[in-house]
Amino acid sequence: MNYKLVNGTFDILPADSHKWQFIEAKIREFMSTYNYKEIRTPIFEYTELFKRSIGDQTDIVSKEMYTFPDSKNKSLTLRPENTASAMRAVIENNLVRENPQLKTFYIGPMFRRERPQKGRYRQFHQFGIEASGPKSAELDFEVILLAVRFYESFALKNVELEINSIGDLETRQIYIDALKKHLNPIINDYCENCRNRFNTNPLRVLDCKIDHEKNQNVPKITDFLNEDSKAHYERVLELLEFNNISFRENHLLVRGLDYYSDTVFEVTSSDLGAQSALCGGGRYDYLVEELGGKYTPSVGFAAGIERLLLSLEANDYAFEERYLDLFFVCMNEKTKLFASKISDSLRRSGFKVDMDFCNRSVKSQMKYANKINAKYVVVIGDDEINSNQITVKRMEDGEEFKTSFIELSNYLN
Ligand code: HAM
């Protein structure tokens, strides 16, 4: 039998792993400058957590979760996202009592049984932030700003911030009634998915890709906001304007998870095709209560790392090349003894060093050194060992320097 990857998953191979490491390092750098601390939650949780948070009628819960029984017949699910788990951990560890403006971030794999296509996978990677405690428009703004500045730091073109407010729970119910009234006479002209959603999750009719045009005249949810929600939303927009952050109000943006309230946003890229959301998030003030904790207003977003990589590719982003400081070309067994000892000493001083393990000819060792981007090469034969005189070759221009083993490190910078 030939073993193959599971459909919708992929390997991150050695040739590409540096791109992931670079992005992850950048994420960590951003998180530290905005004072977010990492939270790592398990890859699986009790299924009920996701059902309760994301919502029974959402696509994620109704058809995309990887769910399995554990030994005590409790149902477990591979996390389809990390907000629910983060809030479970907040409640379980009383994190907001310890810190009234708790800021956490995460990076890791998520699992959704979606139909695979460009930018959509069954195991994908997100980084995200969750800020819990204050109900503050300034915090919404900071969360959005982090996302915007993050993408800006890669000089990505064709990126747009879209924003909307879906108000509180009461507003939403009033709006849904108005929306259904508007859609009722015309819903039969919509796609099958929308016709189903009309009954199960009417808000999601708004972000249907197929019937996008038909939705241009639906009532605007922002016209239904109560005073508090309206003031909150206007303050977020004011902060964006004051800081010269460009954005587009998208009245059809409602997001695919049930826990949101008030501010919702996405950063989209027109380089991505159908799966255009680089990241998405918003405020979710009632989730912690829903999960059995105290009222804990929260706001956050999550971003797909694969989609960032796709946009970087579309923008011809130049990742820094990987290199090795030194490769030892060894002529025989005895010279390998020396190479092993000197490699050890150089590595302990922080140099990246490698040598031949395949007994290749000198010529093919040189070729290999070139292929793996070694900056310098030293050929060690018996003469070099006997005389303690070696030649360091700079691969970039072929320039050679004579030195001793002991002084070798001086030539490597
Ligand atoms: P989401 O919109 O479901 O939100 O996912 C966030 C991002 O994850 C998307 O914008 C996309 O970049 C990426 N993504 C989602 N599904 C896939 C997939 N199948 N393949 C590749 N990338 C994907 C959430 O997950 C919320 N937890 C965000 C949040 C955090 N809201 C508040 N805090």
DSSP string, 71-127: TTS-EEEE-S-SHHHHHHHHHHTTHHHH-TTEEEEEEEEEE--PPPBTTB-SEEEEE
| pLDDT of amino acid 403 | 95
pLDDT value at residue 268: 97
Phi then psi for 380, rounded to 5 degrees?
-115, 120
pLDDT at residue number 211: 77
Alpha-carbon span 27 to 108, nearest angstrom: 12
Nearest to 173 by CA among 216, 214, 202, 205: 202
Question: Strand, coil or helix: what is 392?
Answer: strand
372 C-alpha to ligand 1 centroid (Å): 36
> For the chain, which residues score pLDDT lower than 70?
none
* 383, two tokens: 């003469």
Q: If you measure from the C-alpha of residue 16 to the centroid of ligand 1, how many angstroms do you get, rounded to a whole number?
A: 22
**377, 311 Cβ separation under 8 angstroms:** no
Spell out the residues 6+ positions from residue 385 whose beta carbon is closer than 8 angstroms to its own. 334, 335, 338
Query: CB of 408 within 8 A of CB of 361?
Result: no
CB-ligand 1 contact for 306 (6 Å cutoff): yes
Of residues 84, 23, 33, 73, the one with CA closest to residue 313:
23
Q: Is the CB of 111 under 6 A from ligand 1?
A: no
Paired strand residues for 330 = 380
The pLDDT score that the predictor gives to residue 362 is 95
Pocket test for ligand 1, best of 126, 267, 298, 299 (most atoms within 8 A of CB): 126
In terms of Cα–Cα distance, which of 149, 140, 124, 157 is closest to 31? Answer: 149
Q: Is any atom of ligand 1 closer than 6 Å to the C-beta of 277?
A: yes
The predicted structure's pLDDT at residue 72 = 81
Cβ of 285 below 6 Å from ligand 1? no
Q: What is the pLDDT of residue 224?
A: 96
The verdict on the CB of residue 39 being under 6 Å from ligand 1 is: no
Residues 54, 258: contact at Cβ < 8 Å? Answer: yes
Q: Does residue 280 line the site of ligand 1, with CB under 6 A?
A: yes
Ligand 1 neighbour 125 (Cβ under 6 A):
no
Using most ligand atoms within 8 A of CB, pick from 106, 110, 164 the residue to mutate for ligand 1.
110
Please tell me the distance between residue 280's alpha carbon and the centre of ligand 1 in angstroms: 6
Q: Does residue 304 line the site of ligand 1, with CB under 6 A?
A: yes
